[in-house]
Amino acid sequence: MLWKALFILVAWQHCCHGETLTMKLLQHWDTNWEGQFTVPLQSNVLGWELKINFSVPVSGIQQWDGEWLVKDPKGKYFVLLNKVDKGYHAAGTTLKIRMMGKFSGSTPPTATAEFTDLTGDTQTVPPVHIPSGQQHTDYNYEEVLVKSLLFYEAQRSGKLPANNRIPWRGDSALGDQGANGEDLTGGYYDAGDHVKFNFPMAYTTTMLAWGYLEWKDAYTQSGQHQQILDAIKWPLDYLLKCHVAPHELYVQVGDGGQDHGFWGRPEDMKMPRPAFKITESKPGSDVAGETAAAMAAGSLVFKHINATYANILLTHAKQLYEFATQFKGKYSDSVSAAAGFYRSGDYQDELGWAGAWLYEATGENTYLADAEANRVSGAGWGDSWDDKTTYTNVLLYKLTKKDIYKTDVEATFTDWMPGGTLEYTPGGMAYRLQWGTLRYTVNMGLAAMMAADAGLHAKQYRCWALSQIKYALGDNPAHHSYVVGFGANAPARPHHRSSSCPSMPAPCGWDEQKNPGPNPHTLYGALVGGPGKSDDYKDDRNDYVKNEVACDYNAAWQSAIAGVIHLALQQKLPTDCS
């Protein structure tokens, strides 16, 4: 056996695209060879690709680190992509890629290779437009708005449009369908996973539409008018597909258990994606009501933009409302697959909420009477995808100006504001629940801003809402921004599968979930769950309580940010809130 060493690879300062490596020939005998490429790493690597050019034809290559993307029949050009469990390598270590095979001729092969680190992010953020003459603000709320809209684009399922602005996302879940082959592609992935839960998705749609309808100027003047319309229409198109008959509505695509057992991109999913629906015998007044509300609000959004589309939405909204009121029940009692993730507490609040939106969309008094009969009275616990108590009372007060709704809204914020029954963190965040702490406070912040615009305690409610919004942006003891990609000390490790993966085509798996470094792709605009009751927070992907992101987390948040921009445009932003 003959041993022959060649030269070690060229100097490598840091791993980046286009650098050339030289293979070190470890040994060769007869027509056999063994070689190694060596890559010192200055930063964490989550995925890599090696494009190899051999000097002579080789064959029968054995290696243990990757999968072959390209194998030249002539035996001279090969492309190797790391295996799913061979992608992560920490900064300061050395990646060694060893291989062996046979060669043709009398001279053993030499080889050069281009090593590509697939970890990096090529996404760019569009320029932020601050309207001239706008009242000065202490945070760049236009930037927050722009980035929140990018978050929704990152959550898209289905066939992506030609103007997709998220380069690390591609078409996914193109096989989503109902039991009879109905096309159920599209919509938003719920959170850091890949299930489409329609209840929080419909809520998200309603809240985005509400903010647009109230504060359209914020989007127009910030240059985001088309982007918000796209963000609202994307889920509406999907929800229309889900309503396959007057009394049949698909309410979930994907199995939560199987989905949560997979850490990777939606583009790489191979698990079954069952679809679940509600029917007359398995009703769901809550999700049908919320979907009706989303479509009624959507009809108002598109009324003067695309009247045909608006009419389609309103027709479906009416049918869904009739379904929700005639066949009553909680959807999570009918669809057990949803119960472990988005269990409904009740459906009466959704019936009141949907009735109010249908009244606003149609002007028909029957819907108003229903809304007033079904609305939940008293102080609101905290509105969310599952509770529309305060939202409905605010909307009904706006529509009727009746004192009964005013009284309940005031009681809600007496509880929520300092001095009420709600606990506050030392840094000033209203603390309702451990899971998604910021979700609840910004949801109620939006409700306060809507109530203020309706004429209730304008300065007090706006000041309180601003205090909670500013807490999330950095006015907190640790000076953390809790919005990914915005401000100081922003979260870099959200619990989000797709953004934690290296660039395609590198595989992704549980190594990426365990990666101690930042997510390789910035999930711009995502509001994380937030700190604990002592303002405690750690930017840790594995802590999904504090670092989960979700479409419903950003919905009222984005609309509240639009409200702040609107006030600044109107020179009405409170400046003396102390």
| Active-site residue list | 193, 495, 539, 548
Angle, alpha carbons 114-167-522 (nearest 5°)? 95
CA–CA separation, 363 vs 368, rounded Å?
8
DSSP string, 144-176: HHHHHHHHHHHTB-BS--TT---TT---B-TT-
Number of helical H runs and strand E runs in the chain: 19, 14
CA–CA separation, 224 vs 125, rounded Å?
13
113 near 59, Cβ under 8 Å? no
CA–CA separation, 335 vs 207, rounded Å?
24
CA–CA separation, 234 vs 253, rounded Å?
16
CA–CA separation, 502 vs 27, rounded Å?
34
List residues bridging with 158 in a β-sheet. Answer: 172
List residues bridging with 95 in a β-sheet. Answer: 39
What is the number of alpha carbons within 13 Å of residue 199 lying toward its C-beta? 27
Q: How many CB atoms lie within 10 A of CB 569?
A: 19
φ/ψ of 58, rounded to 5, equals -125, 165
512 near 87, Cβ under 8 Å? yes
3-state DSSP assignment of residue 268: helix
CA–CA separation, 210 vs 202, rounded Å?
12
Closest by CA position to 431, among listed 530, 537, 578, 527: 530
518: cis peptide before it, omega within 30°? no
What is the number of alpha carbons within 13 Å of residue 226 lying toward its C-beta? 2
- From first CA to last CA, the distance across the chain in angstroms is 84
CA–CA separation, 361 vs 294, rounded Å?
11
What is the number of alpha carbons within 13 Å of residue 358 lying toward its C-beta? 30
Q: Is 154 exposed, middle or buried (0-12, 13-18, 19+ CB in 10 A)?
A: buried
Q: Is 548 exposed, middle or buried (0-12, 13-18, 19+ CB in 10 A)?
A: buried
Run of H or E including 396: helix 389-400
CA–CA separation, 386 vs 381, rounded Å?
11
CA–CA separation, 523 vs 162, rounded Å?
20
The residue type of 151 is F
Return the structure tokens found at 446: 């939006």
Q: How many CB atoms lie within 10 A of CB 424?
A: 16
